[in-house]
Copies of this chain bind each other. A is one copy, B any other.
Amino acid sequence: MIERYSRPEMAGVWSEDHRLRKLLEVEFVYLKVLAEEKQIPSSELEVLERCIHKLSVREVQKLEAQSRHEVLGILEALSQKIQSQAPTLSRYLHYGLTSNDLLDTTLSLQLLQAADILLEGWKEVSAAVVGLAKQHQFTWMVGRTHGIHAEPITFGAKLAGWHAEILRNIERLKSVREVIRYGKFSGAVGTFTQVGPHLEARVCEQLGLLPEPVATQVIPRDRHAEYFNALVLSAGAIERFATEIRHLQKTEVLEVEEPFGEKQKGSSAMPHKRNPVLCENLCGLARMLRSFQAGTMENMVLWHERDISHSSVERVFFPDATILLDFMLHRFLMVLKGLKVHKDRMGKNLNALRGLVFSQKVLLALVDKGLARFKAYELVQKHAMRAWQKDQDFMPQILKDPVVRKVLGVQGVKACFDLKQMQPPIREILKRGGIL
C-alpha cells in the first residue's frame, strides 16, 4: 500500500486487521450455516464468535510463519483459542473448505467495499462538476482542437462532457460491483466434495454475495480483470480532466488555476511560480494504474485448476489501484472545489484570433444562401488567411468582400459572430450531460 497516496477509508479496507476480520467472518458465517443445516453441532457457535473477536493479527502471523501458509496459520491460531471451550466445533473448523474459499470470498468482500468507497468519491466529484458547470453555463471560451483555436464553446459545456464521462464511470463501477459479487465454498478443486452447492448458496446469501457458478479452486480471474478495467477507465477520465486543467493553466493560456495553498511554494528558485502540481500528480497516478492493468490481465491465465502466480500481483495491485483511484478522486475533488476560473482571460483568449473562430459560421451562412460548399470554403479561407497573416480582425476583412456582402448582408455577417445565438444548443448539451 502506497502510504503517501492513501486515504484512511480505503487503506482500512486493505489493512491486515480488517482482512483478518473478514476472513474470520466468512469462516464463521460458513460454520453457522453448516450448523443451521444440521451438518455440524450448533451449541458452541457463540463461543466461537467470541473467540474470533479476540484473535489478533499478531497471533496469526506467528503461526503463519511456521506453516508458511496464511489460512492454516489463521485456523491453527483459532483452533488453539477455542480448543478448550468449544472442542466439538474446533474439529469442524474449515470443514470441507479449501483455503481459497476463505481467501477469494474475502477478496470479493473487500473489492465490494472498495467499489462502494469509489462510488462515493465519484458522486462527490459529480456534484462538484455539476455545481461548476451550472455556474459557467454561458462562460464562453474558445474550443481547441489540435491545440489550435477552433470554435467557441462554454466552460459549462466542457464540464458537461466531463460529467457525462463521470456518469459512465459510475455505471461502470456499479456494473463491476455486480461482476465481483461472488463467493465460493466449493472446496478443493470446486467440486463440492464435502458440502453441497445449495449450502454454498446459503452462505453466500448471508454474506451478501452470489455463489460462483463454476469455480476451479479459485473464483475465475476474468471477474477480477473486468473489475480492474473499470478502475483504469475511471483513472483515465481523471487523467483527461487533469490534463485539460494543466493545459488551461499554462502561462500563455491561464484560463483556470488549480488551488494553491497560502504557504505553499511553487519552486525553490522562482518565487512567482504557481504550478499545476496536483493535476500533474493525477496524471502520474493514472499512469500507474494503467501500468497495473497488464499484470492483472495476465492473471486470468492460471494453470489447470489454479496456480498461485496471480496472488502476489493481486496482493499489491488491488490495494494499490483502489487506494490510488480513491486518492485521485479526492485530490481531484479538492482541485475542483478550489478551482479558480478566469472568465476574463477566457474571453480574451476567445478573441485572440480576432474572430477567425467564427469562420465556419460564415462559411455555412454562405452555403445556406446558395453558394457551393467548396466555393464558400475557398472564399472564407482566403479572407481568413489574410486576416491571420496581417493580424487583423476577421469581421471587417470578410465584410469587404463584395460577394459576402451581397449574399449575407452586413447583418447576416454580424449574426455569424454573435454568441447569444449559440446559447440554445449549449443548454441542451448541459441537459444531456446531466447538469441541468
Contact = CB atoms under 8 A, between A and B. Distances in A.
A269 B309 contact: no
Interface string A264-293: 111111111111110011011111101111
Contact of A268 (B98, B153, B165): B98
A343 interface: no
A99 interface: yes
Contacts of A301: 236, 239-240, 243, 286
A433 interface: yes
A214 B432 contact: yes
Interface in A116-147: 142-147
Nearest to A241: B301
16 contacts: A67-B264, A69-B265, A94-B268, A143-B190, A144-B251, A150-B217, A151-B188, A164-B220, A196-B425, A197-B429, A213-B432, A226-B233, A270-B357, A272-B384, A280-B311, A284-B312
A151 B270 contact: yes
A388 B194 CA distance: 24
Interface in A372-389: 372-377, 380-381, 384-385, 387-388
A177 interface: no
A304 B302 CA distance: 18
Contacts of A197: 425, 428-429, 432
Interface in A201-227: 213-217, 220, 222-223, 225-226
Contacts of A11: none
Main secondary structure of the interface of A (DSSP, over half): helix
A98 to B, nearest CB: 5
Top 6 closest pairs, chain A to chain B, by CB: A271-B381, A143-B189, A146-B275, A192-B425, A291-B295, A144-B304
A363 interface: yes
A145 B306 contact: yes
Given A291-B294, A304-B145, A213 B309 contact: no
Contact of A252 (B196, B305, B349): B349
A299 interface: yes
A353 B272 contact: yes
Interface stretch (A48-56, A71-79, A106-114, A407-415): A71-79
